[in-house]
Amino acid sequence: MGHAVSSQNVDIRRVAAEAGVSIATVSRVLNHPERVSPETRARVLETAARLGYRPNPNGKRLRKGRAETVGLVIPSPQGRFADSFFLELLAGLGEGLSEAGLDLLVATCPPGSDELACYRRLVEGKRVDGLVVARTRRYDERIAYLLERGVPFVAHGRSDLIAEPYPYLDLDGREGFYRAARRLLQLGHRAIAYIGAPREFNFALHRLEGYRQALLEAGVPLRVDWILEGDLSEESGYRLAGGLLEAPEPPTAILCANDLMALGVLRALRERGLRAGREVSVIGYDDIPQAQYADPPLTTLHQPFREAGRRLVEMLLARLGGAPVAGLQEVWVPELVLRGSDGPPQGERRFP
Amino acid sequence: MGHAVSSQNVDIRRVAAEAGVSIATVSRVLNHPERVSPETRARVLETAARLGYRPNPNGKRLRKGRAETVGLVIPSPQGRFADSFFLELLAGLGEGLSEAGLDLLVATCPPGSDELACYRRLVEGKRVDGLVVARTRRYDERIAYLLERGVPFVAHGRSDLIAEPYPYLDLDGREGFYRAARRLLQLGHRAIAYIGAPREFNFALHRLEGYRQALLEAGVPLRVDWILEGDLSEESGYRLAGGLLEAPEPPTAILCANDLMALGVLRALRERGLRAGREVSVIGYDDIPQAQYADPPLTTLHQPFREAGRRLVEMLLARLGGAPVAGLQEVWVPELVLRGSDGPPQGERRFP
DNA sequence: CCGGCTTGTGTAAACGTTTTCCACATCATA
DNA sequence: TATGATGTGGAAAACGTTTACACAAGCCGG
């Protein structure tokens, strides 16, 4: 009945005194309830609740030698931070972690500073028990570092050039773009260009590979002047699309390694009076929020980032619990969501 | 010369022994360098560096009774998380905090759960020394709670219904929309509609007030059927714009309380074959990344969230240092950035 | 030449937990 | 009734810091 007390500074000692037991017992009630008799357990729980007792995390952390915290480093680029990926991931991570009673430590890495230093600060400063590594690169020095130090972590995305096994959850860009390209081929397209991502990123090669495979299977020869590399920005999509469209023989479809570049392509089309989904088909990748408000709404590959975040937490928890890496490698297939930016090619069209 | 040692478990005792001093001296060297003689200081620093010593934050936190951590609670709505606001803010906070040697604890608050519980967990669980409160509401129970408990915090945005003073940094929505409305008036518009935000949010009233003031000063009577309230989503902008445009006497300009709704308005216009910036002018608020890629690019009010984040850290630091609230209340004026979605009204136009 | 002040360092006591012993009942069993 | 086995709870030792206090040495002015 007693309502909450001014829980200003109630520690385990206070609870113990109030309940007429030793602090060890209080601790046991909270951490190993089965090792204490039901009567005392009930009594302790009651007084703890009455006093509003919350174990001080720092005492706990110090004693247990753990941080009870998981880290995430977000690179924060110079300009606008258009990247909702991290926010979605964050939501998933946060939900999963709070259920597990762990804290989430977020460090942002300013553009200039080297990223690895941020990781070092968290790891060597014992601020986290484990980490989530996002946006993996082809050879990812962060992963190499964490493996070398034996720090538990999970990666969102693979890093193909790292031999040693580690836990990851990846979205299958190869399969995704294989499906996207097949969609275009089935619509009748044969002149399909590809605007890719910097080779540094691991996913860049996977996506390109999906595109190649689909075309080769369909007997469509690859054209080297239709395989471009952007920097993932809207601007670069716009620029590269301009080049493609001005060429004597422009493609009838353009596949983009991310939505931002696809939006740039849409802009380039609009400027030339071309309609996406009619004269030229465009497919993106990521399904960022803007995609559905684009004109026309962008056909793209959806990646369930929030769900990925939740799953990553489960995997990390397993890893922290000592589970072997073997069972902790997953690849999900992104879903092709059809909107308005793709359609059958229009045979008669010709533009300079 | 000696290169880094296997810094696996080097604690202050180890450094002390190696340097031939007591642990107190090592601690002093690190925390109060001036209280130790230059010679020993140099010797200790050298050995600490050689051993790769990093003070264990948990020991420190326990002893000092502080968490050395600042908290931020991000509400994570159900659907897509289109809100780059938090990411920008996060970047600013992260940069500022890491300079100050503080950690940033991010908690995400799932839609169902009550937000206050998240704050309570952080505060009463002694997980943070201070908090940043974003997206303040007209009467903000989070602020009331923090004030009541005497927890240091800074708010991004004001909460008008709270009497007691507290530190905040706000963007002046009144002034912002006053300027936006004046811009439209100067272009010659007289039929200006307003799509606002839920009254629950504090900024909603400020923005509306700016709109009203500008119109009243210009002698333009307010029309109640032109003052609408959306829910900040693209969808609601689209829907409300539809209503405005179908009316017998549609407005020539629409002011929106955020960019997302403005994008919805643009979509509604496109569907009706109307061009934003020609037949109807549209101005948004926030300058989200999508704004510059919209068709046409959206004229809007820019809010420097990252800079705000940095400043908020400074303010919070001052507050943690015991500075009085008085000097910690700032209001910045957002900047009107002209893009393509506004223009002079076209007198002869009429549509059903 | 001595009391007091300054300067530099060491000793030891916290900070609030968890956990490893141990001690003590209680109880069934021989 | 002695003897383990079992269950329960207490005492105390960590975990790695910071800091109040004590102490020794050196310096100063009287």
Residue A188's pLDDT band (cuts 50, 70, 90): very high
Specify the pairing of strand B329-332 against strand B103-109. Answer: unpaired
Residues of A in contact with B54 (CB under 8 A): 124-126
Is the separation of the CB atoms in B204 and B198 below 8 Å?
A: yes
- Tokens 């326990």 identify what position? B62
**Residue at token pair 């680029």:** A77
How many other CB atoms are there within 10 angstroms of residue A25's CB atom?
Answer: 21
Across the range B240-246, mean pLDDT stands at: 97
CB < 7 A from strand D, the residues are A 20-25, 28, 35-37, 39-40, 59, 62-63, 65; B 9, 11-13, 23-24, 27-28, 30-32, 53-56, 58-60, 62-64
The DSSP annotation for A29-55 comes to HHH-GGGS-HHHHHHHHHHHHHHT---
Residue B82: the pLDDT is 59
pLDDT at B348 over 90: no
A186 to A182, B231, B251, B273: CA distances (angstroms): 6, 41, 46, 32
Region B203-230 average pLDDT = 96
Which amino acid residue lies closest to nucleotide C6, measuring CA to C1'? B35
Per-residue confidence band for B16, with pLDDT thresholds at 50, 70 and 90: very high
Calculate mean pLDDT across residues A274-299: 91
Position B294 scores a pLDDT of 84
> Is nucleic acid strand C under 7 Å from A350's C-beta?
no
- Across-strand partners of B105? A105, B71
Residues in A touching B105 (Cβ below 8 Å)? 69, 103-106
Nearest to A335 by CA among A308, A311, A315: A308
Mean pLDDT to the nearest integer, A12-27: 96
| Residue B7's pLDDT band (cuts 50, 70, 90) | low
- For the four alpha carbons of B170, B173, B178 and B183, in that order, the dihedral sign comes to positive
Helix, strand, coil shares of chain A, percent, nearest 5, are 45, 15, 40
Contact B106 A108 (CB under 8 A): no
- What is the pLDDT at residue B47? 97
CB contact under 8 A, B87 and A86: yes
Q: Which residues contact B42 (CB under 8 A, 6 or more apart)?
A: none
Is residue A177 within 8 Å of A255, Cβ to Cβ? yes
Q: Among A82, A121, A293, select the one facing B263 at the smallest CB separation.
A: A293
Decide if A87 and B87 are in contact by the 8 Å CB cutoff. yes
B94–A86 CB contact, under 8 Å: no
* Residues in chain A, total: 352
Protein footprint on strand D: which nucleotides are under 7 Å from a CB?
7-12, 14-20
The pLDDT value given to residue A351: 44
Asked whether strand C has any atom less than 7 Å from the CB of B22, the reply is yes
The pLDDT score that the predictor gives to residue A82 is: 60
Q: Would you state the structure tokens that stand for residue B337, as one six-digit string?
A: 């950035």
Token pair 């996207």 is found at A180
Question: For residue B347, what pLDDT is reported?
Answer: 63
Establish whether the CB of A24 is closer than 7 Å to any nucleic acid atom in strand C.
yes
The pLDDT tens digits of the residues spanning B167-190 come to: 999 999 999 999 999 999 999 999
Of all residues in chain A, the percent with pLDDT exceeding 70 is: 95
Q: How confident is the model at residue B60 (pLDDT cuts 50, 70, 90)?
A: very high
The fourth-level CATH superfamily of domain B62-171+304-333 is Response regulator (3.40.50.2300)
Answer whether A81 sits within 8 Å of B125, measured CB to CB: no
Query: What's the pLDDT tens digit per position in A309-348?
Result: 999 999 999 999 999 999 999 999 999 999 999 999 986 4
What's the average model confidence in pLDDT over B88-109? Answer: 95
d(CA A149, CA B52): 14
B77 pLDDT higher than 90:
no
Cα–Cα distance for residue pair B92/A79, rounded to 1 Å: 12
Q: Nearest residue of B to residue A7 by CA position?
A: B124
Would B62-171+304-333 and B173-303 be classified into the same CATH topology?
Answer: yes
Q: Are B312 and B169 spatial neighbours (Cβ–Cβ below 8 Å)?
A: yes
pLDDT at A1 over 60: no
User: Which DSSP helix (H) or strand (E) runs through A71?
Assistant: strand A69-75
* CA dist A171 → A205, A262, A335, B280 (Å): 13, 19, 10, 43
Average pLDDT value for residue range B127-138: 95
How much is the pLDDT for A179?
97
Q: Which of A106, A233, A272, A313 is the best residue to mutate to test the B interface, defined by the most B CB atoms within 10 Å of its own CB?
A: A106
Using CA coordinates, name the residue in chain B closest to A55: B125
pLDDT over threshold 60, residue A4: no
CATH 1.10.260.40 fits B7-55, yes or no: yes
Beta strands at A335-337 and A300-302: parallel, antiparallel or unpaired: antiparallel
pLDDT of A8 > 70? The answer is no
> Residue B35 pLDDT > 60, yes or no?
yes
pLDDT of residue B256: 98
The one-character DSSP state at B327 is G
Residues whose CB is less than 8 angstroms from the CB of residue A326 and which lie 6 or more positions away in sequence, other chains included: A165
C-beta of residue A223 within 8 angstroms of C-beta of residue A252: no
pTM for this predicted structure: 0.90
Tokens representing A100 are 């597990």
Task: Provide, as residue numbers in chain B, all residues whose Cβ is less than 8 Å from the Cβ of A106.
Answer: 90, 94, 104-106
pLDDT of residue A152: 97
Q: Per residue in A117-169, pLDDT tens?
A: 999 999 999 999 999 999 899 999 999 999 999 999 999 999 999 999 999 99
Cα–Cα distance between B150 and A161 in angstroms, integer? 52
Q: Hey, which bits of chain B come out as E strands?
A: 69-75, 103-109, 130-134, 153-156, 168-171, 192-196, 227-229, 253-256, 281-283, 300-302, 329-332, 335-337
CA distance A122 to A107: 9
Exposure string for A231-248, b = 16+ CB within 10 A, e = fewer: ebbbebbbbbbbebbeee
- Chain A to chain B Cβ contacts (< 8 Å): 154
**Which percentage of chain B shows pLDDT scores above 70?**
95
Helices (H), chain A: 12-19, 23-31, 38-51, 57-64, 84-100, 115-124, 141-149, 173-187, 202-217, 234-246, 259-271, 289-293, 305-320
Report the relative pairing of strands B130-134 and B69-75 from DSSP bridges.
parallel
Q: Chain B residue closest to A264 (CA)? A: B293
B280-296: pLDDT as tens digits:
999 999 998 788 888 89
Strand C: which nucleotides have any atom within 7 A of a protein Cβ? 7-12, 14-20
Which candidate, B236, B265, B263, places its Cα nearest to that of B250? B265
Closest CA to B296 of B282, B306, B286: B282
**Protein CA at A200 to nucleotide C1' at D3, angstroms:** 73
For chain A, what is the mean pLDDT?
92
CATH class in words for A173-303: alpha beta
With 80 as the cut, is the pLDDT of residue A218 above it? yes
Question: Mean pLDDT across the stretch B101-111?
Answer: 92
Q: What six digits make up the tokens of B272?
A: 């009706």
Burial A283-294 (b: 16+ CB within 10 A, else e): bbbbbbbbbbbb
Report the C-alpha gap between A136 and B76 in whole angstroms.
25
How distant, in Å, are the alpha carbons of B4, B15, B25, B60 from that of B19?
16, 6, 10, 21
* H helix runs in A22-130, sequence order: 23-31, 38-51, 57-64, 84-100, 115-124
pLDDT at B349 over 50: no
Residues in chain B: 352
Burial B273-282 (b: 16+ CB within 10 A, else e): ebbbbbbbbb
- A334 CA to C18 C1', in Å? 45
Contact of A233 with A267, CB cutoff 8 Å:
no
Q: Are B215 and B193 in contact (CB under 8 A)?
A: no
Where do the structural domains in chain B lie, given as residue ranges? 7-55, 62-171+304-333, 173-303
pLDDT band for position B350 (cuts 50, 70, 90): very low
